[in-house]
Chain A
Amino acid sequence: DTAVSQTPKYLVTQMGNDKSIKCEQNLGHDTMYWYKQDSKKFLKIMFSYNNKELIINETVPNRFSPKSPDKAHLNLHINSLELGDSAVYFCASSPPGAGGTEAFFGQGTRLTVV
């Protein structure tokens, strides 16, 4: 029973292509995220959705467009891929709560742009 699942796990594509990464969580969480981990392992938040609504949008090129069809899914679509987009992308979710709550992470999607 995978809590947060991402597909695909690996993605190799050419510059200029458009690709999507899918994320699903079966934890009943309201909030979902996309993080980017670069080659130096630095993790940076890209987007956050709460109940299908965008609540955090960091300084991310508009070639990246998240889509949340329902609160259990948050997909990431990337247009016109560039070499610098190569990274590991992590989806995560967290439960509702008045206090801070931890995020549960997927296994990551390693994107390689050639």
Chain B
Amino acid sequence: AQSVTQPDIHITVSEGASLELRCNYSYGATPYLFWYVQSPGQGLQLLLKYFSGDTLVQGIKGFEAEFKRSQSSFNLRKPSVHWSDAAEYFCALGYQKVTFGIGTKLQVIP
């Protein structure tokens, strides 16, 4: 069975500070991994995805994520957070049947 764990339900960072959102997964084969962002009242937007190849993937809005097979992790990072990044972030795993983590709510303070 596949599963995704996002250990941090809520994270607060100051604007301009760096950000790392954690994601761990459980899957028996090569995982297909995604990060989505959901702004209040909106649908989900894909930030980035990993299928194979370079383990450091670049996404939109200045986000990147690193796949570490040995740690079963796919953490999302951004070097400098903007106030507009405040949203809910979902890590997801799978192919056709995608399993989502419970999400991490990011709050950005001025």
Q: Which residue numbers of A lie inside 8 Å of B, CB to CB?
A: 4, 31, 40-45, 48, 50, 55-56, 90, 92, 94, 99-108
Per the CB 8 Å criterion, the residue count for chain B at the interface is: 25
Most chain B beta carbons < 10 A, residue from A40, A48, A92, A102:
A102
Q: Give how many A-B residue pairs fall within 8 Å (CB-CB).
A: 56
Q: Which of B44, B51, B97 contacts A105 (CB 8 A)?
A: B44
**What residue of chain B has the Cβ atom nearest to residue A58's Cβ?**
B97
Q: Which residues of A contact B100 (CB under 8 A)?
A: 42-44
The CB with the most chain B CB atoms within 10 A, among A44, A50, A94, A101, is that of A101
- Binary flags per residue of B31-42, CB closer than 8 Å to A gives 1, else 0: 010101010011
Partner of B43, one of A41, A42, A100, A108: A108
Interface of A is mostly: strand
Contact A100 B102 (CB under 8 A): no
| B94 contact from A31, A40, A100, Cβ within 8 A | A100
